[in-house]
Amino acid sequence: MKQAAPIQCRSAFAAGGLALVFASIFSTIHSAPVVAQAGEVPSLEFAAGCRNAAAGNAATLDSCMRDEQGARQKLTTQWDGFPHADRTQCTALAKMGTALQSYVELITCLEMAKQARDLPKEAKE
């Protein structure tokens, strides 16, 4: 089976189309009924995802759990600094799977959305 999505993403990044990539992601999750409240970092069930990723390896499980807890802690101090629309869309993305919920994914999405907005206009075209 072809893996067209990763190739498309890489070519979009290479062409400076980071904003286009985010527009595509956000349009996919735009209809998700998730609302991120100001001041409240959403509750994500990341432990199952860490257990699945670790596949029985205790060191990997510990590392994953620390990464997720660290990302959540970072979000508690930065949450209100992200635009409401980004919080809502990225929360929907982070909650797309039951075993794949991730604070690391959430904070990465928020940071990338900010970076995409900060790109020079010619890089977005």
Of the candidate ranges 18-22, 79-83, 106-110, the one whose mean pLDDT is the lowest: 18-22
Q: Annotate 78-119 with three-state secondary structure.
A: HHHHCCHHHHHHHHHHHCCCCCCCCHHHHHHHHHHHHHHHHC
This prediction has a pTM of: 0.66
Of the candidate ranges 12-16, 28-32, 86-90, 110-114, the one whose mean pLDDT is the lowest: 12-16
Quick check: 121 pLDDT over 70?
yes
pLDDT digits (tens, 9 = 90+) for 89-115: 999 988 886 667 899 999 999 999 999
Question: Degrees (nearest 5) of the Cα angle 42, 48, 50?
Answer: 95
**Residue the block writes with tokens 């970092």:** 41
DSSP label at residue 59 = H
How many other β-carbons are positioned within 10 Å of the β-carbon of residue 62? 12
